[in-house]
Amino acid sequence: MEKLIINGGNKLYGEVDISGAKNAAVAIIPAAIMASDKKCIIDNIPDIEDVHCLERILKSLGCNVIKEKNTIEIDSTNLTNTNACTEDVRRMRASYYFIGALLGRFGKARVDLPGGCPIGVRPIDQHIKGFEALGADVVIEHGAVIIKADKLVGTKIFFDVVSVGATINVMLAATLAEGVTVLENVAKEPHVVDVANFLNSMGANVKGAGTDVIKIFGVKKLKGCNYSVIPDQIEAGTYMIATSACGGEVTIKNIIPKHLESMSAKLMETGVKIIPNGDSIKVISSGNLKGVNVKTLPYPGFPTDIQQPMTALLCVAKGRSIVNESIWENRFKHVDELKKMGAAVKVEGKTAIVDGVQKLTGAVVKATDLRAGAAMVIAALMAFGTSEVEGIEHIDRGYPHIEDKFKMLGADIKRVKK
């Protein structure tokens, strides 16, 4: 077990490189097993535990996998195993993409139900609705999804809720279905578009990703390709918020400014200066911020995955801020931890009412999930005194080398064994 020790109070200065997007990479890696010809070589893969977990799942299925720095080579040409039932599959959320990928390629799969961050009930009914509409039979037995189809046939599917996972999963299976599939009320997140682009590089014919309707013209087979994952908009947002909260001047490199617009707009409302420049963005902050109201929404709205870091920032912003979490019903576990540092926050259902305090003070706090972990790090970086952040295995699932990146910006942060 490890923890982070952080002496707060330093302003942040310098440059930080953003890694490949976690939520794109964790879908693209399972999608690569759909290539029955040639291997996939995927670049800009983030060095995070969720990716390591996927590597182990690929190997347990029988794929040849070579990982070097930020590149992963996946050769699944000889793959025949359609059972993904391991501890790793049960541990992470994105393992559910093996259902769509295996169903598309082999017409069957047995995949253990996924795990992931405890941020609320996380049903997969919309994934199943989509697979069934394509002609698959689905049962859930002994904690696994068992799915099979004589053949998959394209159809029109209207999702009841906007779901990133269901959009991507059904899109995977539909690339190898007969005829045309039309997905309506889909998620428009940049990672949905990235997965569609990856599938098209493999020979699929997916159109409309990034809009409300995705049209998939089924093809007979997919082949390996070379691809590079988009930058992580949530990692970028985390460093933007940290700089805003601590004060300082940081250039955030290797990003797509368009993907950060909702976060930039909100930070500017707090009084921060944001200057986009090509594939980087500069954040300049005095550290004196004013409170704002935030409501999380599907893209292009303010991302739920940055709500927790933003709540940490608002703890020291002048006046009252109202944070409304509209995607997950239990994504305020970080609030109790923030209170240990002197924050004045009250949670009522899916709303947090934050009254800005002069300063936070260092404390022993816990990362209860991935983004709660990022919130704790940001709170500790701006707090007066020393904090210990425990539960950092959650942070390691999604943030590559967080302590090294913050150290480069002048933070006093170190990782120690517990």
Binding site for ligand EPZ (CB under 6 A): 22-23, 26, 93-94, 117, 119, 121-127, 161, 163-166, 187, 304-305, 327-328, 370-371, 398
Instruction: Using the minimum distance from each CB to ligand EPZ, give the nearer residue, 74 or 195.
Output: 195
Strand order in the sheet with 412-417: 364-366, 386-390, 2-7, 412-417
* Residue placing its CB nearer to ligand EPZ in the complex, 53 or 177: 53
Residue sitting closest to ligand EPZ (CB): 165
Dist CA 245 CA 286 (whole Å):
9
The 3-class secondary structure across 128-159, one letter per residue, is HHHHHHCCCEEEEECCEEEEECCCCECCEEEC
CA distances, 409 to each of 168, 234, 236, 371, 405 (Å): 35, 18, 14, 20, 7
- Quote the least distance from Cβ 338 to ligand EPZ, whole Å: 18
CA distance 111 to 276: 43
Query: Given the structure tokens 């039932």, which residue do they identify?
Result: 85
Catalytic residues: 117
Please give the DSSP secondary-structure letter assigned to residue 114: P
Q: In angstroms, what is the minimal distance from the CB of 334 to ligand EPZ? A: 12
Nearer CB in complex with ligand EPZ: 99/316: 99
In this complex, which beta carbon is closest to ligand EPZ, that of residue 3 or of residue 22? 22
Query: Which residue reads 């409170």 in tokens?
Result: 291
Distance CA 339, CA 375 (A): 12
Residue (24 or 316) nearer to ligand EPZ, CB? 24
Q: CB neighbours (10 Å) of residue 202?
A: 23
Residues present in the chain in total: 418
Closest CA to 334 of 357, 359, 313: 313
